[in-house]
Structure 1
């Protein structure tokens, strides 16, 4: 199987007509394959084939090989939960107490809820419960069929984080979905089905940013800008008349900028144009000499020390040099967790749990996060820095040249991650960059600075 946990080759399932026709894909340990397409495209048939389940009377050909057990998370968790049994009792009938403990911990299902009936659980709690059930027996792969259907944005984000967490433990994941925000947040590889046939497949970083087939482009609907379109009329960040100095030198003069909720604005210009100073003024690291920075219509204090804990959390900054932003003597996990302790008033145990979930969302494994920064790559530290900022649950995320110095592969990964996080969280992004490719991939608008002045105002970026 060439190291693959799952290998599907030329799968055809026919019941009067072909439900899937010549479908092939593979999944390695700790990898995520998303099978996407409209209703009736064959996603569920392909996914259930991994469990050896096919429609009654189906003619099946091709090969489906799985190394290890398969867990299954159905589209509607209520359909597989016994309404008259307490959920913990059902789990303990299926596995030993130790196995149940491991499964509920991996799925982050609260132990205090094990004595409840299914109807006493929220949609997100039910989804975590069926995930725990799927994890009983340590499966090699989990198949999740439309796992976020019907969930609100916040609950959906929580469920996505749970899946990211189990993938970080080495479990392979096959996601069947039409929710492209979920796909962007999780997938390493995407298989696009239409009427049972694979019309396009490839690494998610490539397929989601440069789809070849018109059907795929229609499914994506400009994915990198979708979050901004949801609330483009709602102002999140306003900068008016901002002037800043370094000593006696004026480095920014009378800057105005308005950014909507969920929008991404790139601030560009040559070195020395004032880009980083503008970013530092927004987050309170550099006090302006004139002008205001307002969040949701409310002026922010000029310095970090004067801002409330709520305002500190609301506007987060990811530095250009991720390595320099970490204390080299302390494990990365401890430094990420400190954000939850300081800005969300969490206990030590809870802040570590929240940090692990945030790190899993950016695909940083726990064993890696427990190491010191000097042992991590530049890309890994950029992801850790993003997790640290996201742990504060910001409304505005300012990223300062975060792809500078990265190789092409790592840089693509960081861009893909930013797009996925924006889609998943509805973040307002301010990107400080000199790289037009970064702006082209992510930004809705560009503000160009030159010698501390707005050079050409806002310009709309064309489709990538």
Structure 2
């Protein structure tokens, strides 16, 4: 692949090795001012590993070779302490998982203010005012005094974005910056990233959202199985792709799916009547009626922070409503009410391998390991991932393991909270097709939270709209 490399940032022959061999091979790309670069590809394709190699925070068991030239310095030759001194100063990373990026013991505004106070050396009062401005720019003024556990996944993502913008570093690496955001906020974040490019910042974006890549413009690199399989100007690549995977990626966008409205059923599994939920003076929703029957998918759509996840948690029994009532089908064990979390790292023990967790689950509930193997194949999950820790696999792969784990317990009701927000279009279509098959085969009642109205319209029996009330 013959690529003209500008002097701002160039990556040449980058390979990343584990003990088993190369997992990223011979990646060459370039990034210049005014020309953002976006890496597209499925979960586990190596996109985030490339970003981590540039940033200098690869897991210790991985080793990078090749060259990464930034401002005439080869980053791969720098010591760990030299690399860390760049963090938040000349290079800033917006991480893929806001759950892991935020301090659970600190309120939102002070976390953003710390960037100004300790990275940029501003006075405390000035830092606090700057943090308020950063949060206002991502529509989070109302969340300044909240803790991370009190905000939605989308709000957590926007908090991490505010912190990344606060650094004002020369190179910004944005790893899945719009996942979990509704269309309006996705477009707002994309606009903000374009503004950063116009201000002269270098922007490398990792995303599975073709719409984001299209809006950012510049250059796109498509990754598959650790290799850069296509690379070129955004408009040309998205209108006349050459590689079969790129063609499949574009064909799998939700707007291209067939509509599967599902089958209505009168076999009620769970229902909420007159539901209301408040947090202090804030009313998330009031007078809400919702039912989910066997064999149907009901979607909840609406802007980030409007209470979509809270509705699902109430139906599961994880949260109590402030008003209204819940009815669940009699005779169902609580184990048959399962949830897929928006942030999969929060649902896995960080120091336990995936295999150990699944072995414990099958043993505890009398399941067979062959059930695991069958689901691995259907979810296109390589068996080699079983012996890794949750932090050693991609967010999309971890979400598919979460789905596998939930299905092992034969759920009657499944609350899927943004279950495809971490998946590329090809994987998203495969997983949604699989979910539709499971719903049909097992008559599972599914409540699905999604920010993607295209997905909701194509797979749901019906869509419940929630509006922001404050």
TM-score (norm 2): 0.45
Q: Which has the larger radius of gyration?
A: 1
RCO comparison, higher one (Cα < 8 Å, 6+): 2
